[in-house]
Amino acid sequence: MTATWLAFETSCDETSVAVGREGCILANLVSSQAKLHAEYGGVVPELAAREHLRNLPAVARETLAGAGVPSTALDLIAVTQGPGLPSALMVGLKAAQSMAFALRKPWYGIHHHEAHLYSPWIGGQPLRARFADFQPNVALVVSGGHTLLVRVKREFEHQVLGSTLDDAAGECFDKVAKLIGLPYPGGPVVDQLAAEGDPGRFEFPRPLLDDATDEFSFSGLKTAVRYFLRDHPELLEEGQALRDLCAGVQAAIVEVLVTKTVRAARRLGVKCVTASGGVTCNTAFRRDLQMACSAAGLDLRLAERGLSTDNAAMVGVVAERRYLRGMPAGAMDEEIRLGWELPICG
Ligand code: KG4
Ligand code: ZN
């Protein structure tokens, strides 16, 4: 059975469309709205939806042309169905359902975190999904919307070990950046500044680091930075202090993520760790997780930087696996799924 797919991802502020066939990614375009939202210091949901509406048809046309695939050759349509920004998700979902209806093909609504979860298994040149290498693993999904630790016993068999009780790690990066006066999205800017900072100069709390559970919490860290800046406003005027501050906050977030992920893998006797989601782009995170995994004798699969942030390729790859396994497709009257929990099985 062949499976040529077209995938849409519009859950936040990236308009992304991808085309793939039998595990190969033929095209994966991402049109970012980050500049537009930077003016407001964060994503404005209605603006995001309007931009998706404006851009999606052109991005889809360009992706199909780049892949050299006519729409008549598609076997299925994939789309992020949730969680995400409601109006933004709706644009992708309605586009997917309309195309599926017009082409008389099935459509698959994919959970956004499940798409991130399998993105470490996509790689190489040319880009392809390498599920033949799949091993049971502990997966960290760490983005602007979520911080999730999952045990993946086999493909599509998930046990959520823990998640964040409040802010996601990426949200913490972004909120701290905003407090310091850095542009949105703050994560990449903090990463850049931290590269020239001293992580030991200012010490920040490591929330729930020694907690016995696999839960995370990052809002206290953000509050600690707020109080710290209230007490030392002069530091905001000093370039090196700002870089040291970024390095200190980053070190706290990274230590919690790395320690809890490796600890869970060791406790469960799992030999492989994966990490995905926007925060996986962070330089210190990639370095420290690699070092911790090597020290613990764990295989590490990190999503490639280009596939860590939101993209449609990861959505299409999961949909293709579901389609080939004969899993049920979506119905035409289905809506976006906002409070959708990560599917446990299947
Ligand atoms: O996965 P993603 O593109 O969208 C969501 O599903 O949320 O992740 C975006 C998040 C943002 O919070 C952004 O600041 C963060 O990932 N991020 C980073 C870096 N690159 C992106 N955080 C820290 N360091 C980075 N280099
Ligand atoms: Zn995401």
Q: Ligand 1 centroid to 251 CA: how many Å?
A: 16
Report the pLDDT value the prediction gives residue 235, as an integer from 0 to 100: 92
Q: Looking up tokens 């911790």, which residue turns up?
A: 292
Phi, psi of 149, deg, nearest 5: -110, 125
Report the pLDDT value the prediction gives residue 1, as an integer from 0 to 100: 73
**Ligand with an atom nearest the CA of residue 168:** 1
Choose which residue among 281, 307, 340 to substitute to test ligand 1 binding: the one with the highest number of ligand atoms within 8 A of its C-beta: 281
In whole angstroms, give the CA distance from residue 103 to residue 76. Answer: 9
Residues 192 and 231 in one domain: yes
Low-confidence ranges of the chain (pLDDT < 70): none
C-alpha triplet 247, 276, 42: angle, nearest 5° = 60
Say if 344 falls within a structural domain: no
Residues 152 and 221 in one domain: yes
Q: Ligand 2 centroid to 237 CA: how many Å?
A: 33
Residue-range definition of the domain harbouring residue 97: 4-124+308-324
Percentage of residues in the chain having pLDDT higher than 90: 96
Say if 330 falls within a structural domain: no
Say if 11 falls within a structural domain: yes
Q: Ligand 1 centroid to 236 CA: how many Å?
A: 23
Report the pLDDT value the prediction gives residue 185, as an integer from 0 to 100: 92
Residues 99 and 191 in one domain: no
Report the pLDDT value the prediction gives residue 2, as an integer from 0 to 100: 77
Say if 336 falls within a structural domain: no
Tokens of residue 13, six digits? 């502020």
Say if 97 falls within a structural domain: yes
Q: Ligand 2 centroid to 236 CA: how many Å?
A: 31
Report the pLDDT value the prediction gives residue 345, as an integer from 0 to 100: 85
Report the pLDDT value the prediction gives residue 229, as an integer from 0 to 100: 96
Say if 193 falls within a structural domain: yes
Say if 143 falls within a structural domain: yes
Of 63, 111, 80, which is closest to residue 11 (Cα–Cα)?
80
CATH, residue 296: 3.30.420.40
Residues 170 and 255 in one domain: yes
Ion ligand 2, residues whose Cβ is below 5 A away: 143, 310
Q: Ligand 2 centroid to 19 CA: how many Å?
A: 19
Q: Ligand 1 centroid to 167 CA: how many Å?
A: 13
> What global pTM score does this model have?
0.95
Contact present, 195 and 285 (Cβ < 8 Å): no
Residues 85 and 215 in one domain: no
Report the pLDDT value the prediction gives residue 338, as an integer from 0 to 100: 97
Report the pLDDT value the prediction gives residue 127, as an integer from 0 to 100: 96
Choose which residue among 141, 173, 184 to substitute to test ligand 1 binding: the one with the highest number of ligand atoms within 8 A of its C-beta: 173
Say if 21 falls within a structural domain: yes
Q: What is the pLDDT of residues 5-35, one digit of tens each?
A: 999 999 999 999 999 999 999 999 999 999 9
Residues 211 and 264 in one domain: yes
In whole angstroms, give the CA distance from residue 233 to residue 156. Answer: 49
Residues 11 and 151 in one domain: no
Q: What is the mean pLDDT of the chain?
A: 96
In whole angstroms, give the CA distance from residue 292 to residue 255. Answer: 10
Residues 282 and 232 in one domain: yes
Q: Ligand 2 centroid to 15 CA: how many Å?
A: 12
Residues 161 and 273 in one domain: yes
Strands (E), 83-173: 107-111, 122-123, 128-129, 137-142, 147-154, 157-163
Which protein residues touch ligand 1 with a CB less than 6 Å away? Answer: 12, 143-145, 170, 173-174, 185-188, 191, 277-279, 281-282, 309-310
Residues 251 and 298 in one domain: yes
Q: What is the pLDDT of residues 119-178, one digit of tens each?
A: 999 999 999 999 999 999 999 999 999 999 999 999 999 999 999 999 999 999 999 999
Number of domains in the chain: 2
Residues 163 and 299 in one domain: yes
**Ligand with an atom nearest the CA of residue 309:** 1
Give the residue whose CA is nearest to atom 20 of ligand 1.
Answer: 188
**Ligand with an atom nearest the CA of residue 170:** 1
Residues 277 and 150 in one domain: yes
